[in-house]
Chain A
């Protein structure tokens, strides 16, 4: 097909583009004159027809495209609507159904990157929309059909985290018939739910409903449970992940019958983490009675036996089954899986950072998690709610809400979702056991939004639980009695209160796991500003990660209660199951195209490929590309100094055409932005979704990775008179293609140097690292660049044109 293009096109090969401008209700049409944009599109070269309609993604909209393809023999389609990250698959499918190869479709993003970010300037937004359509049409004219290759999917799943979400996801997948590896960092699965006494709103016993699930995981023939283990490395891609799991030694073999004999003789004690330090454990221990696996574990940090010297052999002597083995070594287990479910859960907020509540100083100020252990019959006080200072049952108790949630002071701006209902449940538990107790709840808003929640809230109010709006400003302790004075303002009655209680329970919020960064890096995920993992789409793909084959379940994605965690876990299992049931995945046809005649076998591409997908054949003096290993970042194409490599669907010619379209008119007023698909382009979309306004002078050209952005593209933009150029990609270390963006940095730095040497203002080339969640970072960068662009003089533009004019050469 490549050769044919060179010669004179036949009638049947003439390019006939159909352009569809979507109103998206008023989302676009409210701020952009769509009719005018469509009229303008008709005037563009190769455009056969252009139409505007209300909802192009609707059935009617898609039918219209399909009919036009058949009726008018369209061989390219451009839709100007939302982000390709949202509806490109929809329209590609429509094209395919009409017999048009899906790689002959192109999108112009006039919603997230135009109408939503220029709400107050209809004229400028319309002009920009026209330009964006022009850019898309320019690329569309050069699009080539492509076939995707199919890759097999390994029918095994890795679930990271053994809380209730991980347990549910593992069971669902295992019951479907897939092999599951469940990796848990702690000695037992169960997570936070195992620590909790009762669950809201039904008040059923937490461990009684979780225990059987845990034991099912332990016995399931399809589940391999790896506790006391951590994922240390993940390589590969959707369908073919290669994970390394570090299994730390327990020093107790599975012969252990959990008989307790060893515990009785162990001379060392430490606070038990499972009981939030309210009870002791020994160096050899089991975190709680229902632990799965039930095999005990030795905590080597406190055991007397260190570095292989057996100082104390009491447990060895006590164990009849001879299950203790101090020779155990850490193991690295290598797993091949097709899908990954991230169910790493959440941490709890540490309230000692709020000195006005005195946590960590006043013994009778406890957290809601400590409360759960105290009220639990299996806990350190045998289910008696006692206050720590004198072990007496308190007569007056206060709950304080939103500790570490919804406040600037704690640095946690989000609502933790579970604390309101948890407090209501806890207050009813106290009421049930000790009906005489006076209970106060100090709150900001009570959020009882779920099924059965309002009923429970009303019950608590009827049971004489006193709800007071307005959090205490300060807690003061009576040094003699260790009672506590709560001082604050009742904001409903507009009066100050001073309440004396025996014990205070801080309703602490949830926060992202401290080690989220590790998982983020291993799986190349994104996180929101709150620090929780970010889903691929908040509405339509709420359990998918942006990285293919990876799904979220439970609090790793955002704070949620047990029911929502379980729901999400089943959803994640279903999503992973869909992939594995298909058994194969198609790989986007965005692999490199190689021209053997131009190749000098220099090997530069081999060095930059993050996936080792290119090898140098020394004998034949040429390179070889392993398509199956290629992920399509395009870094090799940007690196090749001889133009022997380009990338399918992101060819040099197509990108040059886009640059030329941007700079055709008023180049000196424009910002040419090259954005990677995963972070920078997604961040720009996020700015749009959040209606963050920025100057309309920017034109974004999307590549899969910033590593595709060859210096010649930037030079071309300057040679064509662009005022300022932006190169934007993922934060270093977060690159979707391992480390391809390091090459971006290298190339930009080289250009800066050249600009400096040639007397150009290097501020005219900007580099931005941003994440998909940092919309404001993107928007403010554009504002900053607009200020720089306005200062660029016509002489400077001319100088840059001269310096880079070589870049104007043909493709």
Chain B
């Protein structure tokens, strides 16, 4: 059905989207970059910071883009990244 779609869907606000909280344990990271490479929403990027282990750990670009798929946790060889659902208090 090739119709040009340009509007913001009317019910977009109604969709419950869980918000993510991404935790990176920088000291455990060895800078392999798997989490950055495999994130389907491109939420992570390499930071300029250098850790004690002499690597650039990942940095969150836009937390709101994260869909909590948990793949970063699954591919991280060093258990250095995990995501939890943000507990929704008022106004979140």
Binding site for B on A (CB under 8 A): 186, 267-269, 271-280, 304-306, 309, 311-312, 314, 347-348, 350, 352, 360, 363, 369, 380-381, 386, 388, 391, 514
Are the C-beta atoms of B12 and A280 separated by less than 8 Å?
Answer: yes
List residues of chain B with CB within 8 A of the CB of A363.
7
On whether the beta carbons of A271 and B9 are closer than 8 Å, the reply is yes
Closest to A266 in B: B67
Interface size on B, residues (CB 8 A): 22
Asked whether B7 lies within 8 Å of A388 as measured between CB atoms, the reply is yes
Decide: A267 and B67 in contact? CB cutoff 8 A.
Answer: yes
B67 touches A273 (CB 8 A): no
Q: How far is the CA of A169 from the CA of B5 in the complex (A)?
A: 31
Interface pairs (27), CB distance under 8 Å: A267-B18, A267-B67, A269-B12, A269-B15, A271-B5, A273-B3, A273-B5, A274-B1, A277-B3, A277-B5, A277-B9, A278-B9, A279-B10, A280-B15, A304-B40, A304-B67, A305-B40, A312-B69, A312-B71, A360-B6, A369-B3, A380-B9, A386-B10, A388-B7, A388-B10, A391-B10, A514-B2
Closest CB in chain B relative to A811 CB, distance in Å: 55
Further contacts, 6 of them, CB under 8 A, given A388-B10, A391-B10: A279-B11, A280-B12, A347-B2, A348-B3, A352-B6, A369-B3
Main secondary structure of the interface of B (DSSP, over half): loop
Indicate which residue in A278, A305, A352, A391 contacts B4 across the interface (CB closer than 8 Å).
A352
On whether the beta carbons of A309 and B12 are closer than 8 Å, the reply is: no
Whether B80 is near chain A, meaning CB under 8 Å from some CB there, is no
Give Cα A280 to B9, complex, Å.
Answer: 6
Q: How many A-B residue pairs have CB under 8 A?
A: 74
Cα–Cα distance between A275 and B4 once the two chains are bound (Å): 12
The reply on B38 being an interface residue by CB < 8 A is yes
Tell me which residues across on chain B come within 8 A of A280, comparing CB atoms. Answer: 9, 11-12, 15
- CB-based contact B67/A312 at 8 Å: yes
Residues of B with C-beta under 8 A to A514: 2
User: A11 to B69, alpha carbons, bound, how many Å?
Assistant: 94
In the docked arrangement, what's the CA distance between A656 and B67, Å? Answer: 77
A267 to B19, CA, bound (A): 11
Kindly supply a per-residue 1/0 record for chain B positions 10-47, scoring 1 wherever the CB is within 8 Å of any chain A CB and 0 otherwise.
11100101100000000000000000001011000000
**Residue from A268, A305, A312 having most chain B Cβ neighbours under 10 A:** A312
Is B68's beta carbon under 8 Å from chain A? yes
Which of B1, B41, B70 gathers the greatest number of chain A CB atoms within 10 Å?
B1
B1 closest partner in A (C-beta): A273
Q: A267-B68, A388-B10 are in contact. Are A276 and B40 (CB under 8 A)?
A: no
CB proximity of B69 to chain A, nearest CB, Å? 4
Determine the chain A residues whose CB is within 8 A of the CB of B11 once the complex forms.
279-280, 380
- Closest Cβ of chain A to B62, distance in Å, is 15
A694 to chain B, nearest CB (A): 39
Chain A's nearest CB lies how many Å from the CB of B37?
11
Provide the residues of chain A in CB contact with B1, threshold 8 Å. Answer: 186, 273-274
Task: State whether A304 touches B69 (Cβ < 8 A).
Answer: yes
Whose C-beta in chain A lies nearest to the C-beta of B4? A350
